[in-house]
Amino acid sequence: MENLTHGKTLVLIALDSENSEHFTLMKVNKKIEIVDVLEVRLSQKESALEVVKWIEQEGQYRLISVCGEQYMTFVKCMEQFALTIPKDFFRALKSRFWNVQSEIVYRLKCPVHFNLEQLTFLYGLTYNTHPVKHVSDAFQLTTLMAAYAYDTETTRNIKQKGVEVVLRERLLKETIEQLSAKAFSLGYSLNFQPVIQEGKQAVELKAQKESEHFLTVGSDLHEALVELAMHLILKKR
């Protein structure tokens, strides 16, 4: 896994969530760098043939995507032109796909629902956004792949300590404002009040969202917010 490309070009396929025919394809070299980009709308056979030519000129390649669902949408779009596209290419669509994000989740023993943003945070990296969301996710996937492959200290740390320990270490470095923002971004409102726990002053924090609520107590507000963030990140949605 650490040798991610095995000498092959990776072709990253990203789907525009607002248009199921619009794809951005990116070629990724062995250094996990994006070296070429193709924007295409798969509504005509000419576009499909352009995709085939653009991919196959690499010779040895593997196909990756931000998630399996996006990749299957790409395959279905290409299947519209099955009579036009070489049969060998269709076989390659199935045999050369690699769900790299799921493999990283598996190898790090993360909860299966972990997304790109959570995996990026685990490596202590900022999730870099782009005006076009599917392009942003594609860039972030390559960032994650590079971190897994080249930040061997963090990768080893996650595998040895476990995801929850490393996640807590990351959250403890966050400010109250940053921790609160995580809950607000998910639509939660926050209420806190001082309480006495085991004879000591503490803070009770309640996160509320429609019918959902989470209650925790910390020695101070920061500790309570860390516990809330742990809950929000680790729980399966």
For the entire predicted model, the pTM comes to 0.86
Bridge partners for 141 per DSSP: none
Two tokens, residue 24: 């951005």
Complete domains list, the chain, with CATH: 9-164 (3.30.420.10), 174-234 (3.30.160)
The 3 state secondary structure assigned to 51-78 is: HHHHHHCCCCEEEEECCHHHHHHHHHHH
Sheet strands (E) in 31-161: 34-41, 61-65, 97-98
The torsion of the CA quartet 29, 119, 184, 210, rounded to 10 degrees, works out to 120
| Measured distance CA(57)–CA(64) in Å, rounded | 17
| Measured distance CA(158)–CA(166) in Å, rounded | 6
The dihedral through the CA atoms of 85, 87, 88, 94 has a sign that is positive
Structure letter (DSSP) for residue 124? T
Give the H/E segment covering residue 167.
Answer: helix 163-172
Give, for all 237 residues of the chain, the pLDDT tens digit.
Answer: 445 555 578 999 999 877 888 999 999 988 888 999 999 999 888 999 999 999 998 888 899 998 888 999 999 999 999 888 888 898 888 888 999 999 999 999 999 999 999 999 999 998 777 777 888 888 899 999 999 999 999 999 999 999 999 999 999 999 999 999 999 999 999 999 999 888 889 999 999 998 889 999 999 999 999 999 999 999 865
